[in-house]
Amino acid sequence: MLDDHRPESDSLPPDARLVLLRHGETDWARTGRHTSVTDVPLTDRGEDQARAAGGRIAMLGLRHPLVVASPRTRALRTAELAGFAVDRAWDAVREWEYGDYEGLTTPEIRREVPHWTVWTHPCPGGETADAASSRADLVLSVVSATLPERDVVVVGHGHFSRVLIARWIGEPVTEGRRFALGPAGSTVLGFEHGFRQVVSHNVPPEHGA
């Protein structure tokens, strides 16, 4: 049985941090089209957002951060513009795969499946919630092994970053629906007295971005 009173980690530096950075705006993100495997570029605004996000994250004073990025161009370009040298382009931090819903908006999907969300309904031909959860647990296991020595920055995508947040605090993947994350928004995950916590969430790249 899980002991809620026992710290989840008492061996890490108290300031150990995992930073999640969503890629900047794309045309598909701007119009609400679900984007996973499709490799769409950043808009000009998305590039500006990425640069601004890098400045925001630099202010955190991270410990020699290990930078991991999705292999999608929009994530790699965001990392580059934010001033990060990517140590590993890792497919495990790719976006939730939407299958037949790739490129569609939520209103378009709901014409066929009322009340659909990625959190509550399947994506035909795509990734299941259980698969996304298992992938997130793998990522967090690797990240946790790095945190004693270095902070980690993961440059990725909206839905999968929200899965990582939910799993970090021990919640089921479906609770990712509680965490909005805008283009080039960042979230800091860390610890307080050994317990995993959300330190800050959905910090915009700049005011008015």
Identify the active-site residue in 25, 95, 97, 102: 95
Active site residue 95: yes
Among 8, 23, 25, 159, the active-site one is 23
- Name the burial class of residue 87, with classes exposed (0-12), middle (13-18) and buried (19+) by CB atoms within 10 angstroms of its CB: middle
C-beta separation of 129 from 137 below 8 A: no
With beta carbons less than 8 A apart as the criterion, state whether 178 and 172 touch: no
17: left (phi over 0), alpha (psi -120 to 50) or beta: beta
Measured in whole angstroms, the distance separating CA 130 from the mean position of its chain's CA atoms is 17
Is 5 one of the catalytic residues? no
Type of residue found at 168: W
Task: Please identify every residue annotated as catalytic.
Answer: 23, 95
